[in-house]
Amino acid sequence: EGTGDISFYEDTGTTAKLFWDASAESLGIGTDSPSRPLTVNGLAGFRNSTTGFASSDGFDIGVGGSDAYIVQRENANIIIETNGAERMRIDSSGRVGIGKAPSGYALDVIAPFSSGDAGAYIEAAEFNKGILTLNHTNSSVNVPLVSVQKSGSDVVTIDSSGSVGIGTDSPSAKL
């Protein structure tokens, strides 16, 4: 009488590459000791007729060493949805959009507001460092370091020299 376990071995017949643990009702791919209903040793690849079926095509997810990987191998987006709606997108250039598609910015966030909600919240657990640091590294370009806008118009600007403008995008004095 068998245990109900099923193993499929690689070509030499010594290492199980696909293993069904009947008592735990778990499937192992690349392992003969699955610890979850599905345990994959390495990266799991997802391919289709649009992406192609080579190892350089499609999408992979998995672990390598102690690191976790989400790998989009195509010149395409990674889209995260909840409750049937897109919530975040990383485009093929690495730009991130949260609540909207990314635009020309590295990070673009929009949040629907209701009473008491904030668009973004940043909290520091320790106060020996700045909560928000903005670093302007190109000194040859005179653009605002910080710009607070309403309806696309600057209402507060901090330029690269540290001057603050209220109602102007080109302050001529410190305040």
The rounded distance, in Å, linking the Cα atoms of 74 and 86 is 19
DSSP element (H, E) containing 63: strand 59-64
Check the CA dihedral 58-62-66-67 and report its sign: positive
pTM over 0.75: no
Which amino acid is present at 77?
N
Does residue 1 carry a pLDDT above 90? no
- Answer whether 111's CB lies under 8 Å from 99's CB: yes
User: What pLDDT digit, counting tens, does each position of 100-137 carry?
Assistant: 888 888 888 887 655 555 566 666 666 666 556 666 66
How far CA 46 is from CA of 3, 15, 161, in Å, comes to: 32, 24, 50
The rounded distance, in Å, linking the Cα atoms of 163 and 145 is 10
User: What pLDDT digit, counting tens, does each position of 4-44 carry?
Assistant: 889 999 888 888 899 999 999 999 999 999 999 999 998 89
